[in-house]
Amino acid sequence: MEKNIFLPTTNMEMNEVGWNKPDFVYVTGDAYIDHPSFGVAIISRVLESNGYTVGVLSQPDWKSAEPFKEFGRPRLGFLVSSGNVDSMVNHYTAAKKKRRDDQYSPGGKAGRRPDRALIVYCNRIREAYGDVPIIIGGLEASLRRFAHYDYWDNAVRRSILVDSRADILSYGMGEKSLVRVAELLDRGVPVKKIRDVRGTAVLTEREYTVKNAVFVGEYDQIKTDKKAYARAFKLQYENIDAISGKTLLEGYDHKQLVQNPPMPILEREELDKIYALPYARTYHPSYEAQGGVPAIQEVRFSITHNRGCYGSCAFCALAFHQGRQVRSRSVASVVEEAKLLTTLPDFKGYIHDVGGPTANFRYPACDKQKTRGVCTHRRCLTPTPCKQLKVDHTEYASLLREIERVPKVKKVFIRSGIRYDYLMYDKNPQFFRQLVANHVSGQLKVAPEHASPQVLAMMGKPTIEVYEQFKAKYFAYCQECGKEQYLVPYLMSGHPGSDRKAAECLAWRLQEWGYTPEQVQDFYPTPGTISTCIYYTGIDPFTGKDVYVPDYKEKVIQRAMLQPHKPQNRKLLSREKMQTKPRIGPHNQRKRKKDIKKGRKIKKDLHY
């Protein structure tokens, strides 16, 4: 491998490239993977392209401040991220059990980063260098930027900016924000004076005033009053768009958190430039002896073509992090990346995925979003598609065909991320047929998530009938092209709004499909989602209405109902005096009556 293709990760490597000290030291909780699917790679390469030097300090030993002195005091400051995933989500399952592995660490071994990594890292940096500028970013910072419910503490924690003692918090996709902060620091502006950069949050004195700012509440009230928490979340969610979003304030004793409006999102030409930067596209060679880093396997031969998502699923934090406006790369840019992948030594002819937050989104949901921002009062796709929604797969279909024409590319697959309701709303079936005929590698994963109308409405998902219509068309097209392919539905149990009847509704539907799920995701309350707000408060923040929230025991039972074939679940359901298989659903009840009326044989495998 070419020498110095990676950014320096040690003092020795820094000396080899001829630096006395870097402009920035980027501290990350992940192993260093220089690939555009990882935030540390994108941010450091963007800064490099703007003339700044960046050293990467990956997974430092946090038990003392010494490892944080590897590069010396940087000229401009420290950038700190917990990695691609919130450190608590990385460490614990939805049942709060310790995970045994870490896909973002060498050899997949857990224990290479602390719990609440951002807070720990920043405090160690303060021990080492006192008042050095510290800018935090990434998912953990972005989703914890306000007072937030913490599932692991079962309490409302302060903004992570307060607890970390950092100077600036960069939220969302931080390329523009961090370049602007770097420019100001480079000009000699003290970090405490950098207060109004869009896409950032800072702590100021109460005397600091901002015109047209919205006050979301005092932390002391938000942490104890669930109605105040729900109101604060609603205001935060209504101001996540770069066009319509206002400055938000949150009170902390004699200080206030100031979140500046979101930074305008990257347009197509800007995205193209970012994805054309000179990434090494793999993990640092120092990890080879430890077995590499597992996280690269999923993305090594995959391409990200878009950002943002207007799907607005309640349990997803994308709206709070990337925003609801979609932007995509040009066809030429994506094709160039595909050509680059074919030059990698282990390329075997297959592009594993061409996707993003939602694979089949290429443009904003409607023309209005470009000038007025997203609607704060409704979702684009549910409960029914907005009349202004533009449904068009033409460019995406063309993009996939262009990649297929690249020499050495045998097949282009889409593994997941298809928004099936959006696909069903397309009156032109061309892309659906193309998807089934050319881009499914044996099975397609989609996310109906549930079957109960009340739960789906709470989740922001379409009715189960839309999924069943999609399913029927999918298999019809499979038969049409002579392929035996499968459909794998993602399912979630225990979501707010799911009572026992709702769980039975999903169990009935699974029985009707003849589908026995091997994996079911139990709802996991993570920072920055509507569902987590509801889980903690029992209140829908947008309507103010009370919502049923299953407790831990009920969540265990509801999950067991979806997998009654497992011995431990059979025992649990037996103790609860429930059938190990769910009662027959309403559709099969009607079918049974019809079968009896017409003298048909009754199927024994259905529990009428």
Our CA angle for 112, 116, 121, nearest 5°, is: 70
Task: Report the candidate in 547, 545, 465, 466 with the shortest Cα–Cα distance to residue 499.
Answer: 547
DSSP E strand stretches across 513-561: 521-522
pTM: 0.92
DSSP E strand stretches across 29-132: 33-34, 54-58, 77-81
Which phi and psi (to 5°) does residue 231 adopt? -65, -45
Judged against a pLDDT cut of 70, whether residue 117 lies above it is answered with yes
Sequence-ordered list of residues with C-beta below 8 angstroms from that of 183, at least 6 positions apart, any chain: none
Cα(152)–Cα(249) distance, integer angstroms = 26
How high does pLDDT run on average in the chain?
93
pLDDT category at 255 given cuts 50, 70, 90 is very high
215 alpha-carbon distance from chain centroid? 27
- Report how far apart, in Å, the C-alpha atoms of 237 and of each of 180, 245, 266, 522 are: 25, 9, 20, 24
In the numeric block, the tokens 């909780």 are attached to 29
Cα(578)–Cα(561) distance, integer angstroms = 9
Task: Report the candidate in 65, 56, 124 with the shortest Cα–Cα distance to residue 287.
Answer: 56
pLDDT in tens, 418-428: 999 999 999 99
Helices 552-562 and 567-575, packing angle to 10 deg: 120
Q: Six-digit token pair at 162? A: 């307060």
Cα(62)–Cα(80) distance, integer angstroms = 13
Judged against a pLDDT cut of 80, whether residue 597 lies above it is answered with no
Q: Could you tell me if residue 130 is left (phi over 0), alpha (psi between -120 and 50 degrees) or otherwise beta?
A: left
Cα(237)–Cα(462) distance, integer angstroms = 21
- Report how far apart, in Å, the C-alpha atoms of 41 and of each of 135, 277, 283, 284, 593 are: 16, 10, 10, 11, 61
Judged against a pLDDT cut of 50, whether residue 217 lies above it is answered with yes
The overall longest dimension of the chain from CA atoms, in Å, is: 87
SS3 445: strand
pLDDT in tens, 262-280: 999 999 999 999 999 999 9
In the chain, the domains with their CATH numbers are 11-200 (3.40.50.280), 300-441 (3.30.750.210), 446-591 (3.30.750.200)
Sequence-ordered list of residues with C-beta below 8 angstroms from that of 591, at least 6 positions apart, any chain: none
Count of beta carbons in the 10 Å neighbourhood of residue 272: 18
Sequence-ordered list of residues with C-beta below 8 angstroms from that of 117, at least 6 positions apart, any chain: 29, 62, 82, 83, 87, 140
Cα(501)–Cα(510) distance, integer angstroms = 14
Beta bridge partners of 250: 217, 257
Out of 26-40, 228-242, 584-598, pick the least confident.
584-598
Out of 172-186, 272-286, 367-381, pick the least confident.
367-381
| Torsion sign, CA atoms 457, 231, 208, 373 | positive
Count of beta carbons in the 10 Å neighbourhood of residue 389: 14
Mean pLDDT confidence for 591-601: 56
Segment (H or E) for 168: strand 168-170
pLDDT in tens, 466-512: 999 999 999 999 999 999 999 999 999 999 999 999 999 999 999 99
Beta bridge partners of 257: 203, 250
Sequence-ordered list of residues with C-beta below 8 angstroms from that of 190, at least 6 positions apart, any chain: none
H helix intervals, 212-304: 219-222, 226-237, 268-275, 296-299
Beta bridge partners of 156: 149
Judged against a pLDDT cut of 70, whether residue 581 lies above it is answered with no
**What is the secondary structure of 192-237 as a DSSP string?**
GG----TTEEEEEETT---TT-EEEEEHHHHTT-HHHHHHHHHHHH
User: Which one-letter DSSP state was computed for residue 397?
Assistant: H
Beta bridge partners of 258: 202, 249
Confidence at residue 576, expressed as pLDDT on a 0 to 100 scale: 73
Segment (H or E) for 46: helix 39-49
Contact 57, 27 (CB under 8 A): yes
Out of 177-181, 544-548, 594-598, pick the least confident.
594-598
- Report how far apart, in Å, the C-alpha atoms of 311 and of each of 114, 152, 417 are: 33, 28, 11
Mean pLDDT confidence for 554-563: 93
Beta bridge partners of 205: 255
Confidence at residue 598, expressed as pLDDT on a 0 to 100 scale: 56
Mean pLDDT confidence for 402-410: 97
343 CB burial (10 A radius; 0-12, 13-18, 19+) = exposed
Cα(521)–Cα(492) distance, integer angstroms = 5
Confidence at residue 589, expressed as pLDDT on a 0 to 100 scale: 56
Mean pLDDT confidence for 371-398: 94
463 alpha-carbon distance from chain centroid? 23
Confidence at residue 594, expressed as pLDDT on a 0 to 100 scale: 62
pLDDT in tens, 434-471: 999 999 999 999 999 999 999 999 999 999 999 999 99
Cα(427)–Cα(550) distance, integer angstroms = 39
* Cβ density class 299-319: b for 16+ within 10 Å, e for less: bbbbbbbbbbbbbbbbbbbbb
Q: How far apart are the first and last CA of the chain?
A: 64
Cα(550)–Cα(450) distance, integer angstroms = 15
Cα(173)–Cα(49) distance, integer angstroms = 17
Cα(339)–Cα(415) distance, integer angstroms = 20
pLDDT in tens, 337-376: 999 999 999 999 999 999 999 999 999 999 999 999 999 8
Cα(376)–Cα(495) distance, integer angstroms = 23
